[in-house]
């Protein structure tokens, strides 16, 4: 087929992390590209995800640091938060980012089509009555917050609503045990709300190494927010005295000013006309893709949160998109994202960092060939703090084989967020425990613990 029968070589549906990265890289390889975006450029990450979340985390972290000022002899540090001012500054920053994304598309020669895209046949999408034809498509439409299918599940707010809050709720339940629940609960707790983190099982953060789960639970039990475990929400009621959250076992959480659902996200595939394109979805509405990001239609790719990707993270969507563009338009025939050793940080207080295999996964895969090194300590950040304010750090290395190749690094503690990236490089390069031991420590830091473990 000649490219001339198409308006574009590539249309990316969704102007979030994955769509923008793919289109810009494909354009750099000479492809004629468009991005279709129904809402604000930058997608979830920029508008209602990583970016505003990190601003709120930073605010909460600042509050923590100020709380420790007296340990160092400062007096008169009595912060009072103007929530409205924080939100305005945050949103102004996001608007600047929206503009930068717009200009970057323009500078890359990528057309931006504003509106909701819907396939009308395998090579055509319609936006506001106008048809656009492309040789290939990338579906990068991301996801939206889900809600539980229980009475009152439509009451309260989700993570999108969290970013719309014009004031800080005094008493709030955050329901869920994943990244979003622990992060939002942590921010609100640090900023002064009375927060209950409501989870269905014993502990939050299933899938993380057990040492990290335990360290996190121990930390919140000592410092907050309050953990309400084994609580399965069965209904939410609103009354003058506030919300009441009912548990399946008859327990109730009462007098809540706000309830935040953080119970998982749903892929944005409902309105896409995937039937008309002949693209298959799974029961959850996500688009299954192969190792090359292909859907069942060879010319229609999908990436990021709309797919069955095990790591719904911004850098993963970007990496998948850039590699796809390098392969299809850049002639780099074997280039694809390997979904392994993906580093990830959970922005709790203190943060969690994790890359590679958990101890349980390593033992399942390698049995007795696994050796684990672990340490728990109070970092110097709390050297002058009173005993009750000290927060312990936990660090764990998971090693495999006679050469003790490091296959997992799991961190909980101050600085883990910034510490992990470099160790992720080492894991990817196949570093061994000996390599870490041979690396001269940086003193006094928390990171040095990782090269002095015995
Ligand atoms: C609260 C929260 C915090 C997060 N924090 C982090 C973090 O700290 N680090 C991290 O790595 N990840 C984080 N994430 C996850 C991250 O935001 C996502 O993994 C990432 O945004 C996925 O990128 P994407 O391109 O797949 O989709 P998105 O960024 O969601 O982009 C999809 C875009 O498609 C548009 N769209 C949808 N349907 C259509 C249509 N039919 N036509 C046109 N446009 C359409 C949407 O409007 C949206 O702009 C967070 C997510 C949330 C919700
Ligand atoms: N720091 C980061 O990088 C970051 C931050 C936020 C989100 N994210 C990404 O976004 C993804 C989605 O995050 P998430 O927290 O929405 O989803 P998640 O899938 O990680 O967690 C959803 C949680 O809700 C619980 N749940 C589901 N139904 C429930 C119900 N009816 N009642 C009570 N609990 C229920 C689940 O057990 C689970 O713990 C994450 O997997 C992550 O990849 C990343």
Of 232, 263, 294, the one marking the end of a domain is 263
| Residue 435, in any domain of the structure | yes
Instruction: Output the CA–CA distances (angstroms, integers) from residue 217 to 25, 55, 300, 401, in the order listed.
Output: 42, 24, 43, 31
Contact yes or no for 232/129 (Cβ under 8 A): no
Rounded CA-CA distance 15/21 in Å is 9
pTM strictly above 0.95: yes
Contact yes or no for 195/188 (Cβ under 8 A): yes
User: Which residues have CB under 6 Å of ligand 2?
Assistant: 148, 175-181, 183, 200, 233, 262-265, 312-313, 344-347
* Per-residue pLDDT reduced to its tens digit, 141-192: 999 999 999 999 999 999 999 999 999 999 999 999 999 999 999 999 999 9
Residue 78: what pLDDT?
87
Are residues 120 and 177 located together in one domain of the fold? no
* Per-residue pLDDT reduced to its tens digit, 351-408: 999 999 999 999 999 999 999 999 999 999 999 999 999 999 999 999 999 999 999 9
- Catalytic residue check, 443: yes
Rounded CA-CA distance 228/430 in Å is 40
Residue ranges for the binding site for NAD(+)?
Answer: 176-183, 264, 305
Task: Find the Cα–Cα–Cα–Cα dihedral 236, 216, 347, 267, rounded to 10°.
Answer: -50
* Per-residue pLDDT reduced to its tens digit, 118-142: 999 999 999 999 999 999 999 999 9
DSSP structure string for 65-134: HHHTGGGGT---------HHHHHHHHHHHHHHHHHHHHHHHHHTT-EEEES-EEEEETTEEEETTEEEEE
pLDDT score of 2 more than 80: no
Q: Which atom of ligand 2 is nearest to the CA of 265?
A: 16
User: Which residues have CB under 6 Å of ligand 1?
Assistant: 13-19, 36-39, 43-45, 49-50, 53, 116-117, 140-142, 159, 180, 268, 271-272, 304-306, 312-315, 317
Rounded (5°) CA angle 206-212-217: 80
Interface predicted TM-score (ipTM): 0.99
> In this structure, what CATH number is given to the domain that contains residue 238?
3.50.50.60
Are residues 321 and 435 located together in one domain of the fold? no
| Residue 178, domain extent | 153-263
Are residues 187 and 209 located together in one domain of the fold? yes
Rounded CA-CA distance 156/154 in Å is 7
- Token pair for 72: 């160092």
| Residue 335, in any domain of the structure | no
Are residues 277 and 360 located together in one domain of the fold? no
Are residues 370 and 321 located together in one domain of the fold? no
Number of domains in the chain: 3
Nearest to 182 by CA among 153, 220, 145, 223: 220
If one counts every other C-beta atom within 10 angstroms of the C-beta of residue 401, the result is: 12
Residue 4: what pLDDT?
66
């Amino acid at each position: 087929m000649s490219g001339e029968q198409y308006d574009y070589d590539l249309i990316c549906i969704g102007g979030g992390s994955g769509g923008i990265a793919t289109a810009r890289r494909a354009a750099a390889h000479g492809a004629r590209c468009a991005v279709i975006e129904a809402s604000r450029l930058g997608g979830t990450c920029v508008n209602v995800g990583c970016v505003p979340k990190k601003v709120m985390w930073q605010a909460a972290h600042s509050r923590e640091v100020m709380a420790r000022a007296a340990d160092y002899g400062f007096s008169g540090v009595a912060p009072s938060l103007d929530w409205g001012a924080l939100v305005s500054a945050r949103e102004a920053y996001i608007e600047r980012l929206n503009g930068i994304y717009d200009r970057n598309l323009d500078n890359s020669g990528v057309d931006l089509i504003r509106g909701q895209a819907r396939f009308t046949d395998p090579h055509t999408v319609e936006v506001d009555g106008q048809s656009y034809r492309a040789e290939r498509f990338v579906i990068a439409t991301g996801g939206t917050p889900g809600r539980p299918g229980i009475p009152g599940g439509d009451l309260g707010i989700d993570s999108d609503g969290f970013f719309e809050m014009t004031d800080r709720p005094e008493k709030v339940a955050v329901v869920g045990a994943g990244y979003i629940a622990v992060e939002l609960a942590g921010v609100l707790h640090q900023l002064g709300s009375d927060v209950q983190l409501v989870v269905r099982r014993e502990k939050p953060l299933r899938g993380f190494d057990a040492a990290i789960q335990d360290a996190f639970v121990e930390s919140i039990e000592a410092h907050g927010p309050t953990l309400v475990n084994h609580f399965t929400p069965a209904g939410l009621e609103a009354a003058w005295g506030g919300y009441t959250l009912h548990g399946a076992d008859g327990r109730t959480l009462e007098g809540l000013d706000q309830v935040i659902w953080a119970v998982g996200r749903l892929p944005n595939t409902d309105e896409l006309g995937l039937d008309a394109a002949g693209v298959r979805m799974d029961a959850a509405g996500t688009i299954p893709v192969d190792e090359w990001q292909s859907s069942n239609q060879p010319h229609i790719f999908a990436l990021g949160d709309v797919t069955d990707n095990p790591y719904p993270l911004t850098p993963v969507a970007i990496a998948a998109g850039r590699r796809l563009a390098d392969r299809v338009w850049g002639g780099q025939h074997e280039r694809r994202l390997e979904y392994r050793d993906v580093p990830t940080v959970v922005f709790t207080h203190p943060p969690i960092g994790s890359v590679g295999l958990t101890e349980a996964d390593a033992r399942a895969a390698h049995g007795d060939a696994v050796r684990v090194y672990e340490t728990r300590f109070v970092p110097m950040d709390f050297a002058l703090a009173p005993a009750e304010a000290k927060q312990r750090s936990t660090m764990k290395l998971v090693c495999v084989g006679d050469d003790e190749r490091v296959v997992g690094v799991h961190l909980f503690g101050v600085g883990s967020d910034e510490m992990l990236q470099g160790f992720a490089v080492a894991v990817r390069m196949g570093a061994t425990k000996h390599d870490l031991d041979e690396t001269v420590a940086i003193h006094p830091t928390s990171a040095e613990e990782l090269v002095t473990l015995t």
